[in-house]
Structure 1
Amino acid sequence: MAHTTESKPVKITLRTPSDLSQQATARVADALNPLLADTFALYLKTKNFHWHMSGPHFRDYHLLLDEQGEQIFGMTDDIAERVRKIGQTTLRSIGQIAKLQRIRDNDDAFVSAQHMLEELRDDNLALASRMREAHDVCDEAGDVASASLLENWIDETERRAWFLFEATRTE
């Protein structure tokens, strides 16, 4: 954990017991914290599109995005707590999320329903890919618990992408 002084951050050891090495837990945290930032960014984008949905399929899409938003938000606490369980620190602010996120925000005043669903589909697919990369880091570190969680989240993320894909089909 780092305390910020006026000049520079100071590193403090948490001393959380783990049979994983300090280097292994640091690598896992370095893989999970950006995922957590992406998850928060995807959650907020999903809720943004949920709030601003319009068009002939409003009700169905509005409910779909509400359900997906709840699922995405549900991952955030598990990711952060996993980082803490292995003795590392996690996100502390919106500013830190902004620095680490790879899911792009969409601040457009109007986005069509079709474009919303396509953008969320692509974001979910990108998140699943990054989860696989984090899974590889966890495997290399011997962190089977984090890898196991990631496997479930990958499945959930692929399901969201599939639903969004099917909702955007034109045939």
Structure 2
Amino acid sequence: MSKKTDQIRHNEASTTTDLPAEATRDISAALAGLLADAFALYLKTKNFHWHMSGPHFRDYHLLLDEQSDQIFAMTDPIAERARKIGGTTLRSISHISRLQRIADNDAEYVHPQDMLAELREDNMRLTAAMRQAHNTCDEYHDVATASLLEVWIDETERRTWFLYEASRVPPGRE
């Protein structure tokens, strides 16, 4: 393929934005990492939802189903935001695995309380990554992406809170 053909294809994939090229590069990279983490957390949350057991099965099963839906709902807006500012986004499962910072859990059995604790920590990691991405947006004055991140940070903090409260052991029952 010629250099000119590559340039034409690149131009066909990009969109118009008033953000500088460095902003598109840096913000798109941050969003790609967040998208990979969101997919990893979505699948782990679904995994634990499917493999939940024990006396609190129904409550935890429903909680994790609700949380996985919320996580999945972020994925398209994250990817589309990267495209709106002229960037690219994830292209495959292997691309996700290269970028994800949320560790997979392929264990045969995970105790329900350990599931909740692991998901709580993962949601906290996702919040931290979103705050870092927000800082990148602030650096380039990308208020639209920053605004989306603020909503997702709040949602992720809510998931973290619910997971924390669901896993608390009442005093005297330790």
Superposition TM-score tier, normalisation by shorter sequence? over 0.9
CA apart distance, 1:25 = 1.0
Q: Distance in 2 between matches of 1:48 and 1:164?
A: 16
Q: Distance in 1 between matches of 2:163 and 2:105?
A: 17
The answer on whether the counterparts of 2:40 and 2:103 sit within 8 Å (CA) in structure 1 is yes
Aligned pairs, how many? 163
Matches within 5 A, 1:104-119: 104-119=103-118
CA apart distance, 1:15 = 3.9
- CA-based RMSD of the aligned residues comes to 1.1
Deviation track 1:16-75 (CA, whole Å, cap 9, x = no partner) reads 111111111111001110000000000000000000000000000000000000000000
Amino acid at match of 1:133: Q
Q: Aligned residue for 1:62?
A: 61
Amino acid at match of 1:116: M
Structure 2 gap ranges (5+): none
Q: Aligned residue for 2:138?
A: 139
Q: Distance in 2 between matches of 1:27 and 1:15?
A: 15
Amino acid at match of 2:103: R
Q: Distance in 1 between matches of 2:24 and 2:151?
A: 20
Q: Aligned residue for 1:95?
A: 94
Which structure has the highest helix share of the two? 2
Q: Aligned residue for 1:23?
A: 22
Identity %: 66
Q: Distance in 1 between matches of 2:86 and 2:14?
A: 7
Question: Normalising by the residue count of structure 2, what TM-score does the alignment of the two structures yield?
Answer: 0.91
Q: Distance in 2 between matches of 1:121 and 1:56?
A: 20
Question: Normalising by the residue count of structure 1, what TM-score does the alignment of the two structures yield?
Answer: 0.93
Q: Aligned residue for 2:169?
A: 170
Question: Runs (4+) of structure 1 moved beyond 3 Å?
Answer: none
